[in-house]
């Protein structure tokens, strides 16, 4: 998916060549498109190197931030509960995830990433995290505020595609 939407430098021209749309080839939009494209490649390459499917890798990324259950995995990955169960089963079989009874509701199951699962994610992504941390520290607080505002606005723009009714 190309978030900035079209070829570099493209304009949506109307009658008589009038510019009726955004300039999708601005340096910031081209850089954002490059980031999204590279990010998608990172997930693909890391999953392949780790011997995981991309869905398994994304599940480990979610579990590295918080404990969720299989139903929440299905919701976040936008797959059926049966497919999510298969993903979780494979991660459990590899020793990357453990199933535990939910603390408040014994009918439910929580998924907990194991040290090997966390190591699988962090081990492959650590060089990227180190470089991003170094880059972040190279900006002043004011510059980081501008970057954060831009990135949060970009997330909002992406989320518009995810809203109900966008399926066509």
Under 8 Å between Cβ of 64 and 58: no
CATH class given for the domain over 22-160: mainly alpha
Give the span between the Cα atoms of 121 and 116, in whole angstroms: 9
Compute the distance between CA of residue 124 and CA of residue 116 in angstroms, rounded to an integer: 12
In the chain, what are the domain boundaries? 22-160
The residues pairing with 99 across neighbouring beta strands, listed in sequence order, are 111
Residue 13 has pLDDT above 60, yes or no: no
The single-letter DSSP state of residue 97 is E
CA distance 61 to 20: 40
The 10s digit of each residue's pLDDT in 71-125 is 999 999 999 999 999 999 999 999 999 999 888 888 889 999 999 999 988 899 9
- 155-167 residue pLDDT tens: 999 999 988 776 6
The per-residue pLDDT for range 24-55, each reduced to its tens digit, is 889 999 999 999 999 999 999 999 999 999 99
pLDDT of residue 1: 44
Distance CA 63, CA 56 (A): 10
Please state, in angstroms and rounded to a whole number, the distance separating the CA atoms of residues 168 and 166: 5
């Amino acid at each position: 998916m190309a978030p900035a939407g079209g070829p570099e430098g493209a304009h949506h021209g109307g009658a008589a060549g009038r510019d009726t749309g955004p300039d999708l080839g601005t340096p910031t939009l081209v850089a954002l498109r490059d980031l999204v494209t590279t990010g998608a490649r990172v997930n693909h390459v890391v999953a392949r190197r780790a011997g995981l499917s991309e869905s398994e890798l994304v599940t480990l990324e979610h579990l590295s931030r918080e404990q969720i259950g299989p139903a929440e995995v299905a919701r976040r990955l936008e797959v059926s509960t049966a497919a999510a169960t298969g993903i979780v089963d494979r991660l459990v079989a590899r020793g990357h995830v453990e199933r535990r009874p939910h603390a408040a509701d014994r009918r439910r199951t929580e998924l907990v990433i194991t040290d090997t699962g966390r190591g699988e994610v962090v081990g492959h992504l650590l060089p990227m995290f180190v470089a991003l941390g170094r880059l972040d520290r190279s900006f002043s607080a004011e510059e980081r505020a501008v970057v954060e505002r831009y990135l949060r606005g970009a997330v909002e723009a992406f989320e518009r595609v995810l809203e109900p009714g966008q399926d066509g």
